[in-house]
Amino acid sequence: MARAIWTGVITFGLVTVPVGLYTATEDHTVHFHQLQRGTSDRIRNKRVNERTGDEVDTSDIVKGYELDEGQYVVVEPDELDEIAPGRSQSIDITDFVDLEGIEPVYFDRTYYIAPRGKEYTKVYELLRAALAESNKVGIATFVMRNKQYLTALRAEDKVLVLQTLHWADEVRDPAEELPELPSGRAGRGKQLEMALDLVDALSSDWDPSRYRDTYQEKVRELVKAKAEGQEIAAAEEPPEATNVIDLMKVLEGSLQAARSGRGGRESADGHKGKAAPRKAAARSSAAGTSVKPPARKAPPKKAGVARVRSGGAGGKRELQKLSKAELYQRATDQGLPGRSKMSREELIDALARSGRRRKTTAA
């Protein structure tokens, strides 16, 4: 049975439920000790003065923040202790936000939340059900082990999950940090249609048990083989980058291989992918008959699109139903300035204002 790493209460409004916090994941990485080559002698790290080479006792070590080269502000350990926030006794939910409104880059570590006693399961389930029904997450800050965390409390099937989040100033802007990004969106064309067909052919239901950390498996095999005095097989060469000139050819080959592999995998493990209706086309192609895949139908127009484009209160309500990615695509289509740095709510407001301006102009 797991032990709680933190205990306290969750509060939302005047509702309080005593809970415990449990680690949701565990590391399966193979760990090694450092040894001196040719011996079984362990290597230990020491704190050494880089100028004198002398070892320094822990009691004589202070922290220094470098202002300029060689100039430090020295901070004593007890000075940090004096300003450190005390351990939180509660996780106080201050806001409820849409789960889809939080970009994945903000999520960090995951913990399970459990009620501390059967008498608290009813109110615990009430909070879980409310979050699940509304598709909202509760935002709160709390302190654990002398560190303050921004967190999102969300509902799973039978359990509440707490996920720590990165602070806003910890998340980098890809437009500023990355050297190369596409200058425009991929237009509709044969290559995109082929890529979408490939995605369909490789689509299936999410089942995490189907995926394995093959590198760690090879590390364990390496250790076992060396312990038994066996030879080690060389690693495979990494694949070369796809040449843009041959992109269509590569896509066609990938699609054919994916359709063939999908049929084999379905019969082997029982998983059925979304590409199953296209098996007949794949079999005919393999037999030498030229069969074109069924044309991709345009997605049906969503009700209320006209209202969205015309702006107004109704338009804003419809915009709120869209994901951030869909909102960003609309902002791109309309050429809204500053869209890359907008939050989901800012995109909604900007699109709604743009719709109202177009409506006024048309009138």
pLDDT, one tens digit per residue, over 18-45 is: 999 999 999 899 999 999 999 999 999 9
Q: Mind listing the pLDDT tens digit for each residue in 186-217?
A: 777 888 888 888 888 888 888 888 888 888 88
CA nearest neighbour of 105 among 175, 180, 181, 168: 168
9 has pLDDT over 80: yes
293: its two tokens: 């895949």
For the stretch 98-109, what's the b/e string if a residue is b when 16 or more beta carbons lie within 10 angstroms of its beta carbon? eeeebeeebeee
User: Beta-carbon neighbour count of residue 288 at 10 Å?
Assistant: 6
CA nearest neighbour of 95 among 138, 50, 31: 138
| Ramachandran class of 316: left when φ > 0, alpha when ψ lies in -120 to 50, beta otherwise | alpha
Q: What is the mean pLDDT of the chain?
A: 80
**Dist CA 282 CA 298 (whole Å):** 22
338 has pLDDT over 70: yes
Q: Mind listing the pLDDT tens digit for each residue in 225-262?
A: 888 888 776 666 666 766 656 777 877 888 788 877 75
Q: Mind listing the pLDDT tens digit for each residue in 166-190?
A: 999 999 998 888 888 887 777 778 8
Q: What pLDDT is attached to residue 343?
A: 80
Q: Mind listing the pLDDT tens digit for each residue in 299-333?
A: 444 333 333 333 444 478 888 878 777 788 888 88
Beta carbons of 51 and 43 less than 8 angstroms apart: no
The model's pTM is 0.60
Q: Mind listing the pLDDT tens digit for each residue in 92-141?
A: 999 999 998 999 999 999 999 999 999 999 999 999 999 999 999 999 99
